Chain A
Amino acid sequence: MNVIVCVKQVLISTESLKLTGDGKIVEKGMSYDINEWDIYALEEAILIKEKYGGSVTVITIGPETVDKMLRGCLAKGADRAIRFWDPFVEGSDGFILAITLSEIIRLFEYDLILFGAQASDDGCAQIGPMVAQILAIPHATLVTKLELVNNIAKVRRELENGVDEIIEVDLPAAFAVQTGINRPRYAPLKGIMQAMKQVIPTLCLQDIEILGHPSGNFISRIQLERLYTPEIIRSALILDGTTDEATDKLLAVLSDKGLL
């Protein structure tokens, strides 16, 4: 069972993000780490490898600063890590990233592609399904359980209002996994020592067949207009007194605002 895991590095901050005047994130003093959902996707891939054999390939898009994250994935048990970087992807929308990832994935043999259900920074939750569409394979999102039997995946999905569904999906397929699907391991020291010796191949635009992609013009269709911190306006009015008095006051307030 060959599994590909797509991971993303995100900003980690204990405080709110600071923005420059023109709406760019101040990255000075910020730390980065792997997206939380992707940790579960990686663990699921390693568990599958441990159970059925095969390999785990981790893929990400990012500059050199993502190498620590990739070495962390290798330390936990991934067999190889691939980093793609080309200036054109910087600031691209999800669709461009999905096309890029799909073309990287086409370079490898795979039975399963795993994603985190969403990224903690932009929360778009769309890369997994888009990659599946581009590669023309079935997919499922919000996966909380994954069992593999004879080239079929039995998948439990977490729906709204406390309802789950179980579906069967033919492989190869792509799944976006939810946190809690497993209990992620920590990187053993031995794994870190080995990972530090591994070479992380870096791909760029020339390495993938992307220019002639049927998506047409290779330009983001979504443009960021503004990034800003919303103004905090807290307005609270405490209506004290007995229930009758408070009710009268409430009616007066609503009446003043023309809501009655």
Chain B
Amino acid sequence: MQKKALPTKVKIVIIGGGVIGTSVAYHLAERGCTDILLLDKGELGHGSSHRAAGTISKLGLTASGVEIMKHAWRTYENFKKEGDIDLHPNPYILPLWQNNPGYYQQYLKEVVNILKSLGSTAKVEALSAEKTKNIVPEIRLNDVEPGLGNVLGAVMDWESVWVDPYLLVMAYAKRARKLGVDIRTRIEVTGIIVKGGKVKGVETTAGQVECDKIVCSAGPWASKIGKMVGLEIPVKPVRRVLIKIQKKEETKDKWGQYQDEPGSHEKRKGLWIRHDVAGFVGSGTHEIEGKDEAVDPDNYNESYTYEEVIDFATKLDQQMPGFGEFDVVDGWAGLYEVTHDSNWIMDKAESPEGFYLICGFSGEGIHASAAAGLFASELILDGKVKCVKDPSLWAYNSQRFPEIL
């Protein structure tokens, strides 16, 4: 039996078999649209998704975001019920410092009210400095870093979870396949056929396939795919590192993830750390999106450096001096696919007709995947989005980059 040939014609080709591409395939198939070919140049989830930290929360910071994340959350809970993924509790704490920039301070102070007004049911709490110390006893409250001032308190998202990102990709892919989606790996899209301003097919390393619609869910490779149809998709691949550490003795903490907002200072890099299976993962080089250098997604350092370990340890010692000694178990780097404003792009291109952009998740791909899949399926099958009342309220569309697109 030779390798099954590619179909010569399908309705939709999805480019990219990460957490977004597989979710789009699953959501389309669930609506009965199964004449789909999903192509990945490597293995499913192996481009970037499986390297993610995997944090998921109920939070969305606009009415649309809150609405769409309710659907996403239901999807993740169903997958858990069906035994495909685990949702590991990960109470998520964001410290608030005296000298954070105004917008951030304002947002953190009012986040609970904002979320409530948006209809969020997320269990989010504003904590005093004293309560913050009670939940994170390791924390330093005074003079954390020059210029930052004291910790005023924190915002706690009690229901945040983390998921094994690879299992989530597999959960989508399994369902999509079962419903009839043709998923092929190790096949690279090398060109896109456009005639009369319309998408007509793809050229691949395994031959040509005709199609009416193409979904670009190639994550960090999205801008490379965009160039094939003359689009400058403003998605920048940036390298992010995760270091896995272990303490001599396991601790039971009230906090799951601690995330310091790096944007609180120009050029300042932030700390994040979360509990993981037998230890913690984190890094001390977390930059605000859009500031770091773009890398070639096909050629970047996928490992970690000892300098990055020391950066992590230094930040940890500054902010959580009580954390104690640890061993370094492993580490790796992956890619964020960031946009200028760190918001997602979920839209159809003005031209060519039939080209959809579902990318630019700026480090929220795992969290957003089910929302993105639903949004994309409605955009493709219905021509408009029904899952949120007014999608134009939320900056998902590509028109916000007119100078580029």
User: Within the assembled complex, what's the spacing in Å between the Cα atoms of A192 and B305?
Assistant: 11
B61 at the binding interface (Cβ < 8 Å): no
B43 at the binding interface (Cβ < 8 Å): yes
Other-chain residue from B3, B42, B298, B305 in contact with A28 (beta carbon distance below 8 A)? B298
A187 at the binding interface (Cβ < 8 Å): yes
Supposing A15-B46, A29-B298, A236-B1 touch, asked if A188 and B327 sit within 8 A by C-beta, the answer is: yes
Question: Min CB distance, A64 to chain B, in Å?
Answer: 13
Task: Tell me if B46 and A189 are in contact (CB < 8 A).
Answer: no
Supposing A15-B46, A68-B305 touch, asked if A189 and B299 sit within 8 A by C-beta, the answer is: no
Question: Min CB distance, B42 to chain A, in Å?
Answer: 6
Chain A residues with CB below 8 A from B328, complex form: 75, 186-189, 192
Instruction: Give the contacts of A202-242 with B (CB-CB under 8 A).
Output: 232-236
Task: Tell me if B306 and A195 are in contact (CB < 8 A).
Answer: yes
Listed residue (B43, B245, B303, B325) with the most chain A CB atoms within 10 angstroms of its CB:
B303
Task: Tell me if A189 and B329 are in contact (CB < 8 A).
Answer: no
Other-chain residue from A31, A185, A189, A190 in contact with B302 (beta carbon distance below 8 A)? A31
Supposing A15-B42, A234-B1, A236-B1 touch, asked if A192 and B303 sit within 8 A by C-beta, the answer is: no
B394 at the binding interface (Cβ < 8 Å): no
Question: Min CB distance, A46 to chain B, in Å?
Answer: 14
Instruction: Give the contacts of A19-35 with B (CB-CB under 8 A).
Output: 28-33
Question: Min CB distance, B47 to chain A, in Å?
Answer: 10
User: Within the assembled complex, what's the spacing in Å between the Cα atoms of A236 and B299?
Assistant: 38
Task: Tell me if A235 and B329 are in contact (CB < 8 A).
Answer: no
Chain B residues with CB below 8 A from A17, complex form: none
Task: Tell me if A29 and B299 are in contact (CB < 8 A).
Answer: yes
Task: Tell me if A193 and B310 are in contact (CB < 8 A).
Answer: yes
CB-nearest residue of chain A to B316: A189
B313 at the binding interface (Cβ < 8 Å): yes
> Which 8 A-B pairs rank lowest in CB-CB distance, beginning with the nearest?
A186-B327, A31-B303, A28-B299, A31-B302, A29-B299, A188-B327, A186-B329, A187-B328
Task: Tell me if B298 and A189 are in contact (CB < 8 A).
Answer: no
Task: Tell me if B46 and A196 are in contact (CB < 8 A).
Answer: no
Supposing A31-B302, A196-B310 touch, asked if A189 and B326 sit within 8 A by C-beta, the answer is: yes
User: Within the assembled complex, what's the spacing in Å between the Cα atoms of A189 and B248?
Assistant: 12
Instruction: Give the contacts of B287-319 with A (CB-CB under 8 A).
Output: 298-303, 305-307, 309-310, 313
Chain B residues with CB below 8 A from A31, complex form: 301-303
Task: Tell me if A68 and B306 are in contact (CB < 8 A).
Answer: yes
Chain B residues with CB below 8 A from A15, complex form: 42-43, 46
B246 at the binding interface (Cβ < 8 Å): yes
Given contacts A15-B43, A29-B298, A30-B302, 18 further A-B pairs with CB under 8 A are A15-B42, A28-B298, A28-B299, A31-B302, A31-B303, A68-B305, A71-B306, A75-B328, A188-B325, A188-B326, A188-B327, A189-B313, A189-B327, A190-B325, A192-B310, A196-B310, A233-B2, A235-B1
CB-nearest residue of chain A to B329: A186
User: Within the assembled complex, what's the spacing in Å between the Cα atoms of A12 and B332?
Assistant: 12
CB-nearest residue of chain A to B244: A186
Supposing A15-B42, A28-B299, A235-B1 touch, asked if A189 and B306 sit within 8 A by C-beta, the answer is: no
Chain B residues with CB below 8 A from A161, complex form: none
Chain A residues with CB below 8 A from B329, complex form: 186
Question: Min CB distance, B49 to chain A, in Å?
Answer: 12
Residues of A in contact with B (beta carbons under 8 Å apart) = 12, 14-15, 28-33, 68, 71-72, 75, 185-190, 192-193, 195-196, 232-236
- Interface residues of B, count at CB 8 A: 25
User: Within the assembled complex, what's the spacing in Å between the Cα atoms of A236 and B327?
Assistant: 49
Question: Min CB distance, B276 to chain A, in Å?
Answer: 14
User: Within the assembled complex, what's the spacing in Å between the Cα atoms of A103 and B133?
Assistant: 59
Chain B residues with CB below 8 A from A185, complex form: 327
CB-nearest residue of chain B to A30: B302
User: Within the assembled complex, what's the spacing in Å between the Cα atoms of A28 and B307?
Assistant: 22
Question: Min CB distance, A236 to chain B, in Å?
Answer: 6
Chain A residues with CB below 8 A from B299, complex form: 28-29
Chain A residues with CB below 8 A from B2, complex form: 233-234
Question: Min CB distance, B170 to chain A, in Å?
Answer: 15
User: Within the assembled complex, what's the spacing in Å between the Cα atoms of A196 and B325?
Assistant: 17
CB-nearest residue of chain A to B42: A15
User: Within the assembled complex, what's the spacing in Å between the Cα atoms of A15 and B328?
Assistant: 25
Instruction: Give the contacts of B321-352 with A (CB-CB under 8 A).
Output: 325-329
CB-nearest residue of chain B to A16: B186
Chain A residues with CB below 8 A from B46, complex form: 14-15
Chain A residues with CB below 8 A from B310, complex form: 192-193, 196
Chain B residues with CB below 8 A from A195, complex form: 306
Question: Min CB distance, A67 to chain B, in Å?
Answer: 10
Please list 17 pairs of residues, one from A and one from B, whose beta carbons are closer than 8 Å in the complex, sorted by A's number.
A14-B43, A15-B42, A29-B299, A29-B300, A31-B301, A68-B306, A185-B327, A188-B328, A189-B245, A189-B313, A189-B327, A192-B306, A192-B309, A192-B310, A192-B328, A234-B1, A234-B2
CB-nearest residue of chain B to A235: B1
User: Within the assembled complex, what's the spacing in Å between the Cα atoms of A233 and B302?
Assistant: 32
Chain B residues with CB below 8 A from A187, complex form: 327-328
Task: Tell me if B246 and A196 are in contact (CB < 8 A).
Answer: no
Chain A residues with CB below 8 A from B301, complex form: 31
CB-nearest residue of chain A to B312: A189
Chain A residues with CB below 8 A from B313, complex form: 189, 193
User: Within the assembled complex, what's the spacing in Å between the Cα atoms of A162 and B329?
Assistant: 32
User: Within the assembled complex, what's the spacing in Å between the Cα atoms of A33 and B303?
Assistant: 9
Question: Min CB distance, B239 to chain A, in Å?
Answer: 12
